[in-house]
Amino acid sequence: LGQWFEEHPSEARTIVAKIVEAAAAREAARKARELTRRKGVLDVSNLPGKLADCQERDPAKSELFLVEGDSAGGSAKQGRNRENQAVLPLRGKILNVERARFDKMLSSNEIGTLITALGTGIGRDDFDISKLKYHKIIIMTDADVDGAHIRTLLLTFFFRHMRELIEGGYLYIAQPPLYKVTRGRSERYLKDERELEAYLIEGGLDGAVLTTADGADHAGAELIHVVDLARNVVSILANLHPRYPRFIVEQAAIAGALDPATLANAEHAKAAADYIAARLDRLSDETERGWVGTALDNGGLTFERELRGVLETHLIDAQLIASSDARKINERTAELQELYTKAAILRVKDNEVEIRSPSQLVEQVMSVGRKGVNLQRYKGLGEMNPDQLWETTLDPNARSLLQVSVREADEADDLFAKLMGDDVDPRREFIQSRALQVANLDV
């Protein structure tokens, strides 16, 4: 064997590295077992000032809120129902357990505190779900990208080391509101941008009438349907790659130019390019007109104008036409043409405005809906006082919770390894392959 090692130094180094790695893993496991079994290390009495426990001793009636930060943790402690709601503030960054050895994970203050609060122990030989102190474990983080990061790190920990909690239906995610809106004496909390948009549109449609070029009036339920169609189109446009200008694609949709059959015919493609350019001119200020549309031999369209001495060029190419987003919009072409081929008139009380596109309709209705509304955006849970936190996130009769479940364990296992592990290449490939599907990017 020694002679073979001398003749194959590269393979020998690999074997030795594997031996050292296995020995380190055995030593880490031994230390971890000692740590988990050491009297008092995972004792709840070691959590002074951290865990605000509840009075209830029946796990089935008890809830534990894992709260991001001391500020929100303080408000949650004051606003909770002390009878059955416990609060554990998590300070600082949670360890990514996908990249950490077991002994290193247990040396993390936040992870150790969490294990202690749950009462189940940790590890293959020491975890006992029957000792779980709370049958509702609720992750409560801010409604921003940092909160999403902390939530993901916690989910990674639970999936890798306490999957029985997920399988037993004990793990939940709180849905704190992102906005508070006030209109007169009425207050309302809204979970996200989508709910805010719906609220403003609801207010903007009060008493509104849309009259299309054929003289048909749309109000009430009919107008709600028209606006829902417009919102759907705007949502699809928002998914497009930034290289495709949404206002041009929108006008191309109204012209029927997102249909591959239209662009496959040279005469029809040229007519569509000219028609779209004329529509763009009507949408532009007088000093910003001069759009020229050109049909390309490869089945695409270009649109150009010279603005303040600078040539502006945009392309609608075959890749966009073949995309699922373009197909979805094209399926609505008939309705879009009926509503927007000629300008419609939106009347709200004494105001009138021309509408030439779905995005313009949504913007105008929301603009009306904003009048008289005081809007507050919560950057974090810590900005809410205890009463607000109770009303929105803690009160069982008013709050919104998502129960965490695992439908495809193998797929979830692969996803956690890919996104949270050490290997960069699979993560980069995953992100790049889905880059065009991103609707909301917080950078």
> From the candidates 144, 331, 352, 354, which is the catalytic residue?
144
Q: Which residue has the higher pLDDT, 27 or 95?
A: 95
Instruction: Assess whether 145 and 4 both reside in one domain.
Output: no
Closest alpha carbon to 254 in 356, 344, 362: 356
Instruction: Assess whether 388 and 363 both reside in one domain.
Output: no
Taking the C-alpha atoms of residue 264 and residue 397, their distance in angstroms, rounded to an integer, is 57
Instruction: Assess whether 10 and 84 both reside in one domain.
Output: no
215 occurs within a structural domain: yes
Instruction: Assess whether 22 and 69 both reside in one domain.
Output: no
Instruction: Assess whether 87 and 235 both reside in one domain.
Output: no
428 occurs within a structural domain: no
Q: Known catalytic residue: 285? A: no
Instruction: Assess whether 249 and 353 both reside in one domain.
Output: yes
Q: Known catalytic residue: 142? A: yes
Q: Which residue has the higher pLDDT, 424 or 358?
A: 358
Query: At residue 290, does pLDDT exceed 60?
Result: yes
> From the candidates 146, 167, 363, 383, which is the catalytic residue?
146
pLDDT digits (tens, 9 = 90+) for 26-65: 776 676 566 555 544 445 555 545 889 999 999 999 999 9
Q: Known catalytic residue: 411? A: no
Taking the C-alpha atoms of residue 291 and residue 306, their distance in angstroms, rounded to an integer, is 8
Task: Identify the three-state secondary structure at position 303.
Answer: strand
Q: Which pLDDT value is given to residue 185?
A: 87
Alpha-carbon distance values, 359 to 229, 231, 252, 351 (Å): 10, 7, 13, 19
CATH number, position 140: 3.40.50.670
Question: How much is the CA Rg of the chain, to the nearest whole Å?
Answer: 29
Instruction: Assess whether 371 and 385 both reside in one domain.
Output: no
Q: Which pLDDT value is given to residue 420?
A: 76
Instruction: Give the HSE-up count for residue 247: Cα atoms under 13 Å, Cβ half-sphere.
Output: 11
356 occurs within a structural domain: yes
185 occurs within a structural domain: no
Instruction: Assess whether 327 and 302 both reside in one domain.
Output: yes
Whole-number percent of the chain with pLDDT over 70: 88
182 occurs within a structural domain: no
164 occurs within a structural domain: yes
> How many domains does the chain fold into?
3
Taking the C-alpha atoms of residue 321 and residue 303, their distance in angstroms, rounded to an integer, is 15
Instruction: Assess whether 66 and 24 both reside in one domain.
Output: no
Give the residue-averaged pLDDT of 159-184.
91
Query: At residue 218, does pLDDT exceed 50?
Result: yes
Instruction: Assess whether 27 and 70 both reside in one domain.
Output: no
Instruction: Assess whether 368 and 389 both reside in one domain.
Output: no
Per-residue pLDDT band at 69 (split at 50, 70, 90): confident
> From the candidates 53, 56, 63, 68, which is the catalytic residue?
68
> From the candidates 142, 197, 259, 325, which is the catalytic residue?
142
Q: Which pLDDT value is given to residue 37?
A: 56
Instruction: Assess whether 364 and 217 both reside in one domain.
Output: yes
pTM: predicted TM-score of the whole model, two decimal places: 0.69
Q: Is 109:117 a contact under the CB 8 Å cutoff?
A: no
Neighbours of 85 (CB within 10 A): 25
Q: Which amino acid is at 376?
A: Q
Residue 47: which domain range? 39-177+381-406
116 occurs within a structural domain: yes
202 occurs within a structural domain: no
List the strands of the sheet with 179-183, edge to edge: 186-190, 179-183, 373-377
